[in-house]
Chain A
Amino acid sequence: MKHLFTSTGLRVMESLTFTQTLYAFDFDGTLSPIAETPDAARISTKTNDLVQALSAHAPVAVVSGRSIADLKKRLLYSPQHLIGNHGLEGLSSKIESTTQAQSVCEAWKKQLGKGWNQKFDSGVFIEDKSFSLALHYRRSRNKKAAKLGLFEKIEKLDPPPRVILGKSVMNLLPAGAPHKGVALLELMMSLNLKCAFYVGDDDTDEDVFALPDPRIITVRVGKKKTSHAQYFVNRQNEVNQILKQIVKMIQKCQGK
């Protein structure tokens, strides 16, 4: 894993501007700083303007665990491609699976609700994203106990979910549901693009980072030894620098 702003990273970034590349970004922790509650997450005006500037030159996508409706509320400017619920929303081929996912999530919500208040404090809550659930425990008074308690609850769910661990959150997806990696590949194919550049920060983004496809250049916000990403930046506020750099490189390539 190398820092993106080294000679290697910059040269690879530049070489992406010579071909048809999809620029994709996670939302929480990437385009927006991590917030105390999911509802408090917002994109800054500066990041928003840079995303908009990039969209004027190249296809841009936001790939998130949030629902598309939720993403639209949070993005001041909505890029051409929004993928929600870890790939369940936003791709034409997933319409059928969303109906199934919705009924599965409703059943899970009912099962999880039983004895919830007795088991957890008010800092642990369920976020219903229609086609997936997110169990948050960031604001719990005892995060460790909350995490264990949530695992106990998840273990009993029927049908068993696919669990993706995030930063103080557990994402529950119906088994067989796509993940961000599949969604990104499908979007690339549908747009007939040669390469992709993906920036993410979370364990859910590892599904993209771990893709055995050299056409996808990956960047993690925050260095992590076990990550499969090729490059990293140290902090979320460096994402603006990435966006600025890409726009500059594309403009140079187009001779503007």
Chain B
Amino acid sequence: MSMEKDENNFQEAVGRLVLMSLTIHNLNKVAESKLGLSLVQYHLLRILRDMPGSSPQRLAFAVGMHPSTLTQSMKRLVRKDLIFVEEDPKDSRKKILGLTTRGSTALQRFEGGINSLLKQGVEQKQILSRLEPIWSLPKILTEL
């Protein structure tokens, strides 16, 4: 009986996690298409705004990301001309990062519009949970 209860709790927890992940994924997509930045990109730019000229390692530490994960995100932001990468003035083997004017504008735009998107996200989540009970998700997953 107890084992069965544990299993149900586990399945419910996984279901919640999946739902949360889907909501975030959806919010990310909407944010990127409507506001020009994903949540991660926004987070990176916001931290970098207050740390101009910092090294990629320092930024990775500040955002709590592994430096190799950060490299990919950085490349995308450089391609969009939202940040710059330059040589460290003290050591040409190292790099420094900073926000560009475009990056600063993108941040402001994002900050101005994210609240309404988050509201929509919450509503979406509420609708979802009514339509499809959380416990059904793990069931679907196990069947898969």
Known: A2-B89, A214-B58, A252-B101. A195 touches B96 (CB 8 A): no
How far is B89's CA from A217's CA once the two chains are assembled, in angstroms?
11
**Contact across chains for B52 and A8 when beta carbons are under 8 A apart:** no
Contact pattern, A 1-43, Cβ under 8 Å of B = 1, otherwise 0: 1100001110110111011000000000000000000000000
CA distance A2 to B94 in the complex (A): 14
Q: Give the dominant DSSP class at A's interface.
A: mixed
B residues less than 8 Å from A108 (CB atoms) = none
If the complex has contacts A214-B58, A230-B90, are A15 and B50 also in contact, measured as CB distance less than 8 A? no
Q: Min CB distance, B4 to chain A, in Å?
A: 54
Inter-subunit contact B86/A12 (CB<8 Å): yes
Give bound CA distance, A233 to B100, whole Å. Answer: 23
Contact B89 A8 (CB under 8 A): yes
B87 at the interface (CB under 8 A from A): yes
Establish whether residues A11 and B84, one from each chain, have CB atoms under 8 Å apart when the complex forms: yes
**Cα of A17 to Cα of B100 in the assembled complex, Å:** 10
B49 interface contact, C-beta 8 A: yes
A253 closest partner in B (C-beta): B104
Query: Is the CB–CB distance between B52 and A15 below 8 Å?
Result: yes
A131 on the interface (CB 8 Å rule)?
A: no
Least CB distance, B81 to chain A, in whole angstroms: 12
Determine how close the nearest CB of chain A comes to the CB of B98; give it in whole angstroms.
4
Which chain A residues lie closer than 8 Å to B55 at the CB level? Answer: 214
Within 8 A of A (CB), among B30-59: 49-55, 58
Question: Which residue from A2, A12, A228 sits with its C-beta under 8 Å from B52?
Answer: A12
The distance from the CB of A205 to the nearest CB of chain B, in whole angstroms, is 16
Expressed in whole angstroms, the Cα–Cα distance for A253 and B103 within the complex equals: 12
The verdict on B27 contacting chain A, using a C-beta distance below 8 Å, is no
Residues of A within 8 A of B107 (CB): 18
User: Which has the most chain A C-beta neighbours within 10 Å: B52, B87, B96?
Assistant: B52
- A215 with B96: in contact, given A11-B84, A253-B104 (CB under 8 Å)? no
A231: Cβ under 8 A from any B Cβ:
yes
How far in angstroms is the closest Cβ of chain A from B143? 51
Within 8 Å CB of B51, what residues of A? 194-195, 214-215
Of B89, B101, B104, which is in contact with the most chain A CB atoms at under 10 Å from its CB? B89
Report Cα–Cα, A122/B58, bound state, in Å.
53
- Cβ B100 vs Cβ A11 within 8 A: yes
Task: Kindly state whether residue B99 has any CB partner on chain A within 8 Å.
Answer: yes
B residues less than 8 Å from A18 (CB atoms): 49, 52, 99, 103-104, 107
CB neighbours of B96 from chain A (8 A): 8, 12
The answer to whether residues A12 and B99 also contact, given A1-B90, A230-B89, A230-B90 and a CB cut-off of 8 A, is no
Bound-complex Cα distance A252 to B100 (A): 12
> Which B residues are in CB contact (< 8 Å) with A194?
50-51
Residues of chain B lying within 8 A (CB to CB) of residue A214:
51, 53-55, 58
- State whether A7 touches B86 (Cβ < 8 A): yes
* B binding-site residues for A, Cβ under 8 Å: 49-55, 58, 84, 86-87, 89-90, 96, 98-101, 103-104, 107
- Please, could you name 24 A-B residue pairs with CB atoms under 8 Å apart, sorted by A? A1-B89, A2-B89, A8-B86, A8-B87, A8-B96, A9-B89, A11-B98, A11-B100, A12-B96, A14-B98, A14-B100, A15-B53, A15-B100, A18-B52, A194-B51, A195-B51, A214-B53, A215-B50, A217-B52, A217-B53, A230-B90, A231-B89, A252-B101, A253-B101
Beyond contacts A15-B53, A18-B99, A215-B50: 8 other A-B pairs, Cβ-Cβ < 8 A, are: A9-B89, A11-B84, A12-B96, A15-B99, A18-B103, A19-B50, A194-B51, A195-B52
